[in-house]
Amino acid sequence: MSWLVTGGAGYIGAHVVRALAAAGIDPVVVDDLSSGHAAFVPEGVPFVRGSILDRELLVGAMREHDVQGVIHVAGFKYAGVSVQRPLHTYEQNVEGTRVVLQAMADAGVHNIVFSSSAAVYGTPDVPLVTEDLPKRPASPYGESKLIGEWLLRDQGIATASDPQPLRHTSLRYFNVVGSADPVVYDTSPHNLFPIVFEKLLAGETPQINGDDYDTEDGTNVRDYVHVGDIAAAHVVAAQRLASGAPIEAAYNLGSRNGLSVKQIMDAMARVTGIDFTPKIGPRRPGDPDRIVATGELAARDLDWANRYTVDEMVRTGWEARRTAE
């Protein structure tokens, strides 16, 4: 039996595909290549090109490949852009998740790992985020991910008395960085690591947005977690679901301590060997001083751990990006 990875040609999804294969689980990829890359799909892995909005395509892929569960990574992931494109965001993330769940019901598939986001919390006024914190998403993207979690919850309740009820979990995380395979790198134009890498490759100076935050060095602090660790947690969650082991409805995949933007910039200079002093720009509206999650529940159940230093995060991401040159 196999596991279907929606968005499996994207940065995170392609790492999940590799982690499944390394664990002896056969992956199947569905991706419309709107932001993914066919070259990210390993040779020999079945690749179905198409949209998660196409229920018949999903049902066919699940039946053809004897799918046991779904790791649902596909989605429109740009929180800032979602403010300008709310209808597109809801179509891809809410309707897309609904269609995935409907296709699973039609194909008799009962396990799903949902790639959610710490954006469901919005801008909390506490420095350390736990799973029971009130959900106050601050963008259509965060709202769409929270609604996705509700869809899983409600379908689980609706099927609770079925012989095979829906089993599900949602994984919430902030900033995914680095690379666990030199072929796969982050191509997002909105994420810090690729923004800095492209600036350095172009001989330009990266910018820090604000240096007057209430933090140790004045720049805001976030969770930066390595994509290899993220992918591994998805696989353990899938294994737990398939085995019938107890599992929480949601987990934070957090670092507990976080890293500041200045710490990231310092590591960029160290690792790349490019000496630079970042420009200081204005704050972005709504950016809180610090948001970091604990990850304690995930450590207990999903073997979650931060196995990479900040320099290793930068090095693996930089090497993968340079390989693409």
Q: Which of 241, 23, 254 is nearest to 113 (CA)?
A: 241
Contact 143, 137 (CB under 8 A): yes
**What pTM did the predictor assign?**
0.96
What amino acid occupies position 170? S
Which class in CATH covers the domain with range 2-176+224-252?
A: alpha beta
Q: Which residues, listed in sequence order, are joined to residue 67 by a DSSP beta bridge?
A: 2
CATH 3.40.50.720 domain range(s) in the chain: 2-176+224-252
Residues 6 or more apart whose CB falls under 8 angstroms from that of 244 comprise 167
Q: Where are the alpha helices (DSSP H) in 37-85?
A: 55-64, 79-84
Q: Looking at the annotation, which residues are catalytic? A: 141
Q: Which helix (H) or strand (E) holds 310?
A: helix 310-323
- Which CATH code of 3.90.25.10, 3.40.50.720, 3.20.20.10, 3.40.50.2000 fits the domain covering 177-223+255-291+306-323? 3.90.25.10
CATH 3.90.25.10 domain range(s) in the chain: 177-223+255-291+306-323
Tens digits of pLDDT across the chain (325 residues)? 899 999 999 999 999 999 999 999 999 999 999 999 999 999 999 999 999 999 999 999 999 999 999 999 999 998 888 999 999 999 999 999 999 999 999 999 999 999 999 999 988 888 799 999 999 998 999 999 999 999 999 999 999 999 999 999 999 998 999 999 999 999 999 899 999 999 999 999 999 999 999 999 999 999 999 999 999 999 999 999 999 999 999 999 999 889 999 999 999 999 999 999 999 999 877 677 888 998 999 999 999 999 999 999 999 999 999 988 6
